[in-house]
Structure 1
Amino acid sequence: MARTIPHDHPMYRRIAKELLGELRDGTIPPGERLPGERQLAEHFGVSRVTVRQALEVLRRDGLVETDRRGSHAVLPGTPVAAPATFLAFPVGARAADDPSAVEQATLSWEPPPPEHAEALGLAPHRPTLVHRYESAAADGRGLRVAVTSFSAVALTEVEELARYHSRADTTGSPRLRRAYDWMRRAGLTLHHRDSLTLHDDTRSLRVTRRVHDQYARPLEITDLAMDAQQEELVYAFTLPATEEPHAGRDSARWVHSRAL
């Protein structure tokens, strides 16, 4: 019979503090499902009862949520940036460690723009998860506006994205920098195509990214608009080693900009 630790025992509070630290430093990435109670108990060298009490502390503080898929962190602020070998989401997102950037992101459950619905194979007026991102320098220059719509395939097969359905239209600034990482972890091979259009009359640049999987199923489409007079957008990419021939032919991201 398992020994029950009194609820006022300090052990579970210490474990709650250590778990929170690992969530914040990225040892357990924010937004992803936490390991099970047994794994956490082995990891921290305590009983499952202590782990259960520690999780309850974090739930009461609004830092952990539990649903039928398991427990996951809901920490405020910017999640740990995706590794450099992954595409950054959304296209045009500034580096997570850029201190000069002023950013805002929102999520909604609504019908996407008509051209997005067509690209994703959605029926007209059918709602989906829509992500909006705005970023500018501290002085207001270099505004970037990106709108992303996700497909039914992405929301069905990528549990981290599916979880956001019930949390759309809520307060906060959701950051999905690891969206492409989540897709790959779900077993999807990502193929992306970025189209750039320069409008001479307004000196604005439009980037359209379309992403599909190994079965040619659309996953998401993003439209990015930015002022080409004020910024230069640098596109960097990494080719994976030959021992990973099916891990994606290239991994790329928009990494930085500077005033022209």
Structure 2
Amino acid sequence: SNLETETEKLIQIVLIGQPELDQLLKKNELRQLRQRITISWELLPLNRDETRGYIQHRINVALGKGRVQFSRSAVELIYKYSHGIPRMINVLADRSLLIAYTMNTKKITPKIVRPAVKDVGGLNPLTTWIDSLWKTILPGFLALSILLFGANYLMLPDFNKKNVEEKDLNLIIKENPIIPKNLIISNSQAPIIDLPQSGNLALEKMKPVTPSHQAYTPDDSLTTKLLNPRRIPSTKPLIIS
């Protein structure tokens, strides 16, 4: 103001407003008013701890200490949607107290703060660097993973079991012989070995020694088997070198 004496100003004007006030004072038609401002100070947003202390201070000033309690999660939610701006903290806290009064409760919880945020409207939650990381880097990482997986799927050979079984095994055997051709037996039937007719010779050499009071009677079935030799198939394949 131009009203002043030799020692002091007669009128001191203090302008308090939102950040939009600073943009308004930067206009060309208000340059004279801006030049008369000697001290300019900007209140930065509060952090979580400062928001909790600010709410408790306002409750103590209103003589509500011990009567009303804001839970830690409720203060966290207020900070998230107010971005630490004192004016928005006042609005959300006041609206939460009104809702708590209608619900006949003295403890403010997130269940009460959420309707207050919805009632005020137009508030976006505070985005942290972790949220930004998930929103920006994670989609790119997923896209890169899908791209690499597709490239490996197209470039690597197909090891599908079904496709391997469908290959020409005869061609593989011819190209990579393991067993010599002269050892391959075309007839898979087992060879037959003829036993010599030595049954009679065995019977002639057999002289049973028995007591005189006990006669030995040879088993007819055994005699029949020895007298009638037969062709017995062998269980081992015959390999001709």
What TM-score do the two structures reach when normalised by structure 1?
Answer: 0.18
**Bigger fraction of residues in strand:** 1
What TM-score do the two structures reach when normalised by structure 2?
Answer: 0.19
Q: Pick the structure with greater CA Rg.
A: 2
Q: Does 1 or 2 have the higher relative contact order (CA < 8 Å, sep 6+)? A: 1
**Bigger fraction of residues in helix:** 2
